[in-house]
């Protein structure tokens, strides 16, 4: 065979000109056995010398992401045909495998157990453009072979989090809007993105259809990821620290992160790490896994830097991977501060005016080269926290409204600002367009921040003193510490008078820098920053000398702010409260709907729908601040409810409490959460408004009750029964069918252009019982075209499962009926059809069997459960069949017959009752059953009776009667049926026609076949057949007899 060489063939090294490359033996396009096409035949590549550099070339050539692994062997199955290439030796930079040197074809010694394979990352769908670095810039997404931008409607930090994670750029630092990184060109592919922050790609987030938007490129979004810092030392990082400039030292080598042993680790080594990461000066070089133990390889040991090196790699050390340590000796560093000149957020774009110091005052923002104010509509502590962070002013103490710091002049730039509290800049929060507002300067918003906090105390007004400097919290040394210093701090924190000034780390030792020493206060200063002290970071102390303060405290509850985390919207998620400078969770002991009502009201999220427990929205990581809450539901904040002292609990994060709020619907002025004036907040506005009662009826009210999880409607009230509302009347001419999942799905005029007044405000009173509030229902993972599977219900636009606690045949029967699947044969437990994913919506379902749908049954509040997916409930239904009434005086009376193997046959009378008769009447559209007598009143049928000892739930409204015949021959169904009956063999006791069952019912309109209403459908499995008695159904309608022989 000819070898293709660029020079002499004597060396055995060639460049092999194959025509095509593919990956085989995998379900994805970016992983598999490497195969090449040569001479019209596919062949493999031998694994001799195969490594990650070769894999990089393959991944690049295949249009995939970076190479992850380069497996050798039969991981992707054994190939066939020739082995075309062997001994490949790529540098990793080649554009094609063709350009890599390899052995001559005749020289390979390989069998098919030595195949070369690759695993590549999936191809990138996102890129960042015009940023300072690869981890910042305008977001562009690849779709239909074109790069395009994303509109900034609803763009926030959760969306940015998905982008940053996808690009391997760490956490999201900021989510700039308004084409901060310049205007893009080409299509605007996405708009209205609403990520939870947990998705693995931006294309997985809910959004408008591709290309559907109402934007221009002036609204292109951007991101700034924490990875903007990581490039400063691409081979070193700090893990598990309190900020990016402290933590366990990890180095990158051989495609893997690993730790550094603390043998000989000192301040010189730490200084090199801090310089490499542009984190200022080294404050400490800590060993002993101070920031928790790492995992994986320990790469470095006995590092011996002079302190002048540019990188840790330049320091003398043992060879990579050689060490005498374990992870209990991982090295760490603490650096002084951030020195990166950040361009986002720009601290010159926001300022505080007319306050007592630089960290308090009226909020003003810079836009179009002009300063303007912020309106106080929806102004909250979460907004204030973002302002304080952006100005490097520590924590927010208060968020004054009503021009507390005087009225501004000129523009009012921002209104209806809604921050989550985690944003890096006020501009990253949800807000109206610049200059859009309905305010005047009497509504200018303000902020009071503090660069001081108290940590580890029994309340927010006692604890170890910490001050904020250089983006980092640090402690104060207790040299010269006394009551005058404590008085200043208590006054600044609005904590009343100073009681004590503890020293010697009374509230525990801090970590990080000791920022201040020899502090000297007069006692009258407005803030701690006005006291004289040593230079920042200069001291002769250690953390055993950390200073503390105990204040009398303020009147009223600690004004802790709240947020919801990990939910599907801003109005659902894990409850977290802000205390002592950080967010923490709430334990679910005693947690119920009353507490949820308080949270939803506080966050302006409508009415509480559910109060999930058991870390339904994931485990938190920070302190558990609250436990044993007892709210009445009328409080304005959780801190106004009875509870243990903040920080006192006996819980784990597996008990973190959550809430689900209605968001855009609420009831106002009622006697409970389930009664009141109906108010909505439409998508096109942030303002609440009322509903006009002009066409308001029981169907409309019923949808409201269902949406709020408030059971059945009791009254649909008109005439401003619960008082007149204010603002817009958003909805008029409403016309609900009663089957909608939300009032927004009803036909109505929702533009606010109507001729109603607030004397016509609609209201509702709901039963407030624990009826299940679900929309659609489906069966998953069952056999194709069968009425069997795992039960899943739709709630809040998400499918979820049902826990099998108390799950029985009555519950299964309702499901079968609702789906038109006949009657229930089985109600399997323990994820019979496989475990679901996503939420577990229902638990302790309690149907009587007479309900028409699952939402008419009772159960726990939506999302409340103590289950896992191994307990997912399922059903096996009978399927559909045909039934008729024979020889009766009209279409709704007569002998019950079902179709089996093309012939009509009767039903045995044993255990025949009004319940079974009701099923027949409903199925035939004949209304309710009047009676179910037995006997031969309408003649004796020919042939055998197919069913005896019938035990049907009247739930099987549509169809459930006799699926009998067709699947009589199916042995599997036989087992299901026996389990639910008396235990007699299926074929026992066939008997002569001597007794007939009889039923009366009220006639409803139905289709007729030869004078008899029939229900058609799929033939299913057979019921039991113990008797040859005949069932008769007699109705009250006056239709003529329908003789059927």
**What is the per-residue DSSP string for 768-800?**
---B-----EEEESS-TT-SEEEEEEEETTEEE
pLDDT computed for residue 1 by the predictor: 36
Neighbours of 297 (CB within 10 A): 16
Q: Tens of pLDDT along 534-546?
A: 888 888 899 999 9
Point out the least confidently predicted range of 211-215, 222-226, 899-903.
899-903
Question: How would you class 319 by CB atoms within 10 Å of its CB: exposed for 0-12, middle for 13-18, buried for 19 or more?
Answer: exposed
3-state secondary structure (DSSP) of residue 389: helix
Tokens standing for residue 959: 């169809």
Point out the least confidently predicted range of 19-28, 47-56, 402-411.
19-28
pLDDT computed for residue 697 by the predictor: 92
Q: Which residue has the higher pLDDT, 114 or 122?
A: 114
Q: How confident is the model at residue 828 (pLDDT cuts 50, 70, 90)?
A: very high
Tokens standing for residue 524: 């009258």
Q: Tens of pLDDT along 674-684?
A: 888 999 888 76
Question: How would you class 829 by CB atoms within 10 Å of its CB: exposed for 0-12, middle for 13-18, buried for 19 or more?
Answer: middle
pLDDT computed for residue 339 by the predictor: 39
Asked whether the beta carbons of 304 and 317 are under 8 A apart, the reply is yes
In angstroms, rounded to a whole number, what is the distance separating the alpha carbons of residues 703 and 276?
61
In angstroms, rounded to a whole number, what is the distance separating the alpha carbons of residues 401 and 373?
12
Q: How confident is the model at residue 221 (pLDDT cuts 50, 70, 90)?
A: very high
In our burial notation (b when 16+ CB lie closer than 10 A, e otherwise), range 795-815 reads bbeebbbbbbbebbbbbbbbb
pLDDT computed for residue 899 by the predictor: 65
Q: Distances in Å between the alpha carbon of 468 and those of 280, 356, 391, 713? A: 16, 18, 11, 54
DSSP string for 36-89:
EEETTEEEEEB-TT--HHHHHHHHHHTT---EEE--BSSTT----S-EEE-S--
Query: Residue 169: is its pLDDT beyond 80?
Result: no
Mean pLDDT of the region 839-863: 81
In angstroms, rounded to a whole number, what is the distance separating the alpha carbons of residues 304 and 290?
20
Q: Tens of pLDDT along 603-644?
A: 878 888 888 888 888 888 778 888 888 887 777 778 778 888
DSSP state of 205: S
- Looking at mean pLDDT, say which of 223-232, 314-323, 567-576, 795-804 comes out highest: 314-323
The pTM for the full model equals: 0.35
Q: Which residue has the higher pLDDT, 164 or 232?
A: 164
In angstroms, rounded to a whole number, what is the distance separating the alpha carbons of residues 637 and 169?
37
Mean pLDDT of the region 476-503: 88
pLDDT computed for residue 218 by the predictor: 87
Which is nearest to 987 in space by CA: 944, 936, 1031? 944
Tokens standing for residue 590: 């005693």
Q: Distances in Å between the alpha carbon of 738 and those of 72, 696, 708, 735? A: 62, 12, 14, 9
Point out the least confidently predicted range of 7-16, 242-251, 808-817, 1030-1039.
1030-1039
Longest dimension (CA), the chain: 110
Asked whether the beta carbons of 632 and 683 are under 8 A apart, the reply is no
Mean pLDDT of the region 512-521: 89
Asked whether the beta carbons of 701 and 716 are under 8 A apart, the reply is yes
Query: Residue 704: is its pLDDT beyond 80?
Result: yes
Q: Which residue has the higher pLDDT, 357 or 377?
A: 377
- CA 225-231-233 angle, to 5 degrees, is 135
Token look-up 């050390």 returns 317
Which is nearest to 88 in space by CA: 70, 62, 113? 70
Point out the least confidently predicted range of 397-411, 551-565, 709-723.
551-565
pLDDT computed for residue 763 by the predictor: 92
Mean pLDDT of the region 736-757: 82
pLDDT computed for residue 476 by the predictor: 94
Q: Tens of pLDDT along 920-944?
A: 776 666 767 777 777 666 677 665 5
Q: Tens of pLDDT along 434-448?
A: 788 888 998 999 998
Q: How confident is the model at residue 575 (pLDDT cuts 50, 70, 90)?
A: very high
Query: Residue 530: is its pLDDT beyond 60?
Result: yes
Q: Alpha helices, DSSP H only, in 181-250?
A: 227-230
pLDDT computed for residue 1018 by the predictor: 31
The overall average pLDDT reported for the chain is 76
Mean pLDDT of the region 276-295: 82
pLDDT computed for residue 1007 by the predictor: 32
Point out the least confidently predicted range of 154-168, 258-272, 328-342, 836-850.
328-342
Q: Tens of pLDDT along 857-883?
A: 888 777 777 788 889 999 988 775 567
In angstroms, rounded to a whole number, what is the distance separating the alpha carbons of residues 507 and 703?
54
Q: Tens of pLDDT along 178-211?
A: 888 889 988 999 998 988 877 777 877 888 888 8
Q: How confident is the model at residue 114 (pLDDT cuts 50, 70, 90)?
A: confident
Sign of CA dihedral 811, 813, 814, 818: positive
Q: How confident is the model at residue 227 (pLDDT cuts 50, 70, 90)?
A: low
pLDDT computed for residue 444 by the predictor: 93
pLDDT computed for residue 955 by the predictor: 37
pLDDT computed for residue 446 by the predictor: 92
CA within 13 Å, CB half, 546: 23
Q: Which residue has the higher pLDDT, 359 or 8?
A: 359
Token look-up 């060879």 returns 319
Mean pLDDT of the region 759-780: 75
Tokens standing for residue 885: 């009434």
Q: How confident is the model at residue 483 (pLDDT cuts 50, 70, 90)?
A: very high
pLDDT computed for residue 634 by the predictor: 74
Which is nearest to 981 in space by CA: 948, 1030, 1009? 948
Asked whether the beta carbons of 865 and 842 are under 8 A apart, the reply is yes
- CA 955-959-961 angle, to 5 degrees, is 80
**Residue 270 dihedral angles phi and psi, to the nearest 5°:** -60, -35
Which is nearest to 977 in space by CA: 992, 964, 993? 964
Percent of residues, the chain, with pLDDT higher than 90: 12
Tokens standing for residue 55: 């894999």
Q: Distances in Å between the alpha carbon of 697 and those of 128, 254, 709, 856? A: 53, 70, 19, 20
Strands 572-579 and 222-225: unpaired
Query: Residue 890: is its pLDDT beyond 90?
Result: no
pLDDT computed for residue 608 by the predictor: 83
pLDDT computed for residue 804 by the predictor: 92
Which residues are paired to 577 by β-bridges?
562, 584
Which is nearest to 762 in space by CA: 826, 700, 805? 700
């Amino acid at each position: 065979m000819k070898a293709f060489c660029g020079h002499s063939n004597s060396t055995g090294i060639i460049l092999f000109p194959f025509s095509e490359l593919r990956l085989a033996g995998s379900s994805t396009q970016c992983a598999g056995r490497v195969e090449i096409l040569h001479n019209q035949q596919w062949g493999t590549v031998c694994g001799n010398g195969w490594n990650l550099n070769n894999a990089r070339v393959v991944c690049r050539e295949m249009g995939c992401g970076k190479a992850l692994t380069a497996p050798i062997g039969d991981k992707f199955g054994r190939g066939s045909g020739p082995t075309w290439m062997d001994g490949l030796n790529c540098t990793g930079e080649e554009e094609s495998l063709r350009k890599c040197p390899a052995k001559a074809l005749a020289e390979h010694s390989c069998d098919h157990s030595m195949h070369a394979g690759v695993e590549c990352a999936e191809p990138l769908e996102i890129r960042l453009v015009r940023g300072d670095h690869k981890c910042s810039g305008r977001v562009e997404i690849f779709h239909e072979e074109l790069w395009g931008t994303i509109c900034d409607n609803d763009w926030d930090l959760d969306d940015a989090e998905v982008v940053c994670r996808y690009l391997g750029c760490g956490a999201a630092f900021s989510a700039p809007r308004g084409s901060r990184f310049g205007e893009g060109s080409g299509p605007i592919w996405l708009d209205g993105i609403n990520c939870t922050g947990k998705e693995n790609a931006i294309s997985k987030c809910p959004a408008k259809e591709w290309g559907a938007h109402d934007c221009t490129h002036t609204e292109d979004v951007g991101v700034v990821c924490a990875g903007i810092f990581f490039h400063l030392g691409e081979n070193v990082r700090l893990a598990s620290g309190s900020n990016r400039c402290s933590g366990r030292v990890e180095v990158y080598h051989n495609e893997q992160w690993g730790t550094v042993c603390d043998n000989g680790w000192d301040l010189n080594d730490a200084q090199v790490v801090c310089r490499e990461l542009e984190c200022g000066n080294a404050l400490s070089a800590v060993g002993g896994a101070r920031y928790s133990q790492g995992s994986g390889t320990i790469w470095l040991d006995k590092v011996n830097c002079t302190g002048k090196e540019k990188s840790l790699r330049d320091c003398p050390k043992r060879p990579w991977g050689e060490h005498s340590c374990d992870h209990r000796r991982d090295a760490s560093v603490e650096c002084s501060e951030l020195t990166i000149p950040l361009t986002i957020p720009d601290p010159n774009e926001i300022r505080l005016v007319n306050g007592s110091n630089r960290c308090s005052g009226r909020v003003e923002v810079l836009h179009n080269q002009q300063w303007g104010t912020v309106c106080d509509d929806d102004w909250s502590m979460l907004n204030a926290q973002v302002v304080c962070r952006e100005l490097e002013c520590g924590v927010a103490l208060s968020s004054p409204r009503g021009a507390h710091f005087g009225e501004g002049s000129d523009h009012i730039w921002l209104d209806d600002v809604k921050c989550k509290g985690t944003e890096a800049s006020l501009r990253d929060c949800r807000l109206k367009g610049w200059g859009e507002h309905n305010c005047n300067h009497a509504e200018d918003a303000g902020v009071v921040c503090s660069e001081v906090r108290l940590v580890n105390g029994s309340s927010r007004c006692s604890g170890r003193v910490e001050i904020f400097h250089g983006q980092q919290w640090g402690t104060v040394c207790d040299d010269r510490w006394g009551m005058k210093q404590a008085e200043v701090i208590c006054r600044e924190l609005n904590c009343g008078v100073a009681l004590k000034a503890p020293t010697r780390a009374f509230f525990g030792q801090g970590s990080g820098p000791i920022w201040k020493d020899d502090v000297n206060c007069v006692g009258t200063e407005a803030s701690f920053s006005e006291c004289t002290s040593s230079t920042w970071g200069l001291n002769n102390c250690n953390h055993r000398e950390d200073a503390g303060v105990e204040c009398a405290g303020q009147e009223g509850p600690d004004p802790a702010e709240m947020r919801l985390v990990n939910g599907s919207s801003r109005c659902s998620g894990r409850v977290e409260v802000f205390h002592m400078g950080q967010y923490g969770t709430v334990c679910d002991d005693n947690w119920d709907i009353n507490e949820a009502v308080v949270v939803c009201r506080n966050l302006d999220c409508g009415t509480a729908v559910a109060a999930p427990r058991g870390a339904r929205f994931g485990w938190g990581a920070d302190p558990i601040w609250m436990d044993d809450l007892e709210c009445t539901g009328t409080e304005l904040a959780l801190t106004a409810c009875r509870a243990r002292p903040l920080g006192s609990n006996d819980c784990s994060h597996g008990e973190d409490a959550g809430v689900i709020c209605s968001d855009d619907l609420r009831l106002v002025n009622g006697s409970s959460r389930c009664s009141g004036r109906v108010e909505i907040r439409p998508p096109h506005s942030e303002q609440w408004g009322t509903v006009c009662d002009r066409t308001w009826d029981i169907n409309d009210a019923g949808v409201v009750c269902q949406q709020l999880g408030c059971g059945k409607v009791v009254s649909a009230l008109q005439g401003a029964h619960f008082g007149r509302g204010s603002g817009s009347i958003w909805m008029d001419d409403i016309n609900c069918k009663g089957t909608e999942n939300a009032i927004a799905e009803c036909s109505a005029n929702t533009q606010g252009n109507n001729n109603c007044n607030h004397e016509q405000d609609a209201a509702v009173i709901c039963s407030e019982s624990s009826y299940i509030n679900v929309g659609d229902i489906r069966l998953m993972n069952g056999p194709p075209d069968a009425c069997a599977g795992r039960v899943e219900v739709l709630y809040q636009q998400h499918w979820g499962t049902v826990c099998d606690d108390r799950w029985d045949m009555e519950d299964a029967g309702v499901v079968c009926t609702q789906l038109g699947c006949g009657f229930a044969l089985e109600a399997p437990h323990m994820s019979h059809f496989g475990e679901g994913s996503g939420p577990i919506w229902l638990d302790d379902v309690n149907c009587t069997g007479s309900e028409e749908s699952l939402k008419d049954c009772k159960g726990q509040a939506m999302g409340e459960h103590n289950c896992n997916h191994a307990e997912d409930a399922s059903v096996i239904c009978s399927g559909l069949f045909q039934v008729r009434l024979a020889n009766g005086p009209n279409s709704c009376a007569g002998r019950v017959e079902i179709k089996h193997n093309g012939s009509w046959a009767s039903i045995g009378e044993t255990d025949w009752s009004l319940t079974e008769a009701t099923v027949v009447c409903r199925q035939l559209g004949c209304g309710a059953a009047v009676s179910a007598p037995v006997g031969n009143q309408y003649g004796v049928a020919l042939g055998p009776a197919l069913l005896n000892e019938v035990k049907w739930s009247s739930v099987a409204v549509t169809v459930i009667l006799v699926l009998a015949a067709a699947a009589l021959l199916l042995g599997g169904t036989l087992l299901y049926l026996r389990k639910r009956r008396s235990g007699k063999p299926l074929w026992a006791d066939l008997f002569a026609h001597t007794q007939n069952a009889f039923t009366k019912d009220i006639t409803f309109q139905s289709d007729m076949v030869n004078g008899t209403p029939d229900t058609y459908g799929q033939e299913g499995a057979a019921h039991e057949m113990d008797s040859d008695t005949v069932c008769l159904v007699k109705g009250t309608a006056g239709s003529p007899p329908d003789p059927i022989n």
